Amino acid sequence: MELQQLRYALAVAETGNFTRAAEKAFISQPSLSQQILNLEAELGHKLFHRLGRKAVPTEAGIAFLEKARKIVLDVENVTQQLRDSPTLGRKIVVGAIPTVAPYLLPLVLKRCQTEFPNLLVHIREDFRVPLCKAVMDGELDLAIVSMPVKEAQLDVEPWFTEPLLLVVAREHPLAKKSDIQPTDLVEETFVLLGDSSSLTSQIQRFCGEHNFTPKIGYRCSQIKTVKELVDLGLGISILPQVARSVEDRGLSYRRLSGRPPVREIGIVRHLQRYQSKGAEAFLAVMRESLQSYRTATPWSQAEGEPGQS
């Protein structure tokens, strides 16, 4: 039995298809199929039901794959530990949600270049669900995501909590209103990110708690696009404090009255994954960078007097 055969079997289980598994493993489909057949012959059990183009683990396959995942993870951890020498360059892969990545990561990476010049950081920007899955699959060392995270395999370190602010065009009537209640948003058109965004889900929950469903007029893939549409007066939005910029001259950011929405951001890693010195260094810089950012941008400061941005 070879380690690569375990990886092939895991790829089939993950993709549910021999062809897609072969693409993921960078091997031809006939070669991958033959390796799985060899593995099944050695074990004396079929690992997958072949249902046309679909591959479904058998009872024996489920038991085998559970052990195979642990074996592959253990091997990867040992390899990482052996490679993690002070004399070698360090490489880590970090994921971050789109509502954090462009605002805080550049600050973190700049400090990393100064304090740990031999640390090589690769960044993956994505939504919370795929990022958490990537951490569980061993593709990411760390991920910065919004809470809550319910996956039992993940360790969560709270990073910060920030307010979510109403954002409107400066000439919008709500920009001049001294006290904005959630009910003032009932008839407004919202500009939001897509359904995969945890921020969008939180906004929809917040509106639901105040007995209305937001009227969504525009779906965007980037915060920058959301801001531009709001600036044009096409709708309103709710954005995290960290997304606020001095360049947003045409926008007004306002706190909602009552219990305004907030979000918690955390750093997740696999409970069983070896945390390299590179990952530890990156985490230390993240904590320092956040403190510097919050000192320069006090989040406790009252927001949005009428007409202010």
pLDDT tens across 39-67, in order? 999 999 999 999 988 999 999 999 999 99
How large a percentage of the chain has pLDDT more than 70? 92
Bridge partner list, 162: 263
CA 55 remoteness from chain centre: 29
- 139 sits in the region (left: phi over 0; alpha: psi -120 to 50; else beta) called alpha
Single out the residue of 280, 270, 278, 274 nearest to residue 76, CA to CA: 274
Structure tokens at 76: 């990867």
pLDDT(306) > 80: no
Question: Tell me, what's the pLDDT at 89?
Answer: 53
The single-letter DSSP state of residue 242 is: G
- Secondary-structure percent of the chain, ordered helix, strand, coil, rounded to 5: 45, 25, 30
3-state secondary structure of 237: strand
Buried b (16+ CB within 10 A) or exposed e, 5-18: bbbbbbbbbebebb
Overall pTM > 0.85: no
Q: Convert the pLDDT of each residue in 272-300 to its tens digit.
A: 888 888 899 999 999 888 877 766 665 54
Residue 307: pLDDT band (50, 70, 90) is very low
- So what's the pLDDT on residue 133? 94
What integer pLDDT is reported at residue 301 of this predicted model?
45
Domains of the chain: 3-83 (1.10.10.10), 90-160+264-296 (3.40.190.10), 163-262 (3.40.190.10)
pLDDT for 90 equals: 78
Q: Which pLDDT score is estimated for 78?
A: 80
Q: Which helix (H) or strand (E) holds 55?
A: strand 54-57
Strands 215-220 and 119-125: unpaired
* pLDDT tens-digit map of 9-42: 999 999 999 999 999 999 999 999 999 999 999 9
- pLDDT, one tens digit per residue, over 74-132 is 888 887 776 766 555 578 999 999 999 998 999 899 999 999 888 899 999 999 999 99
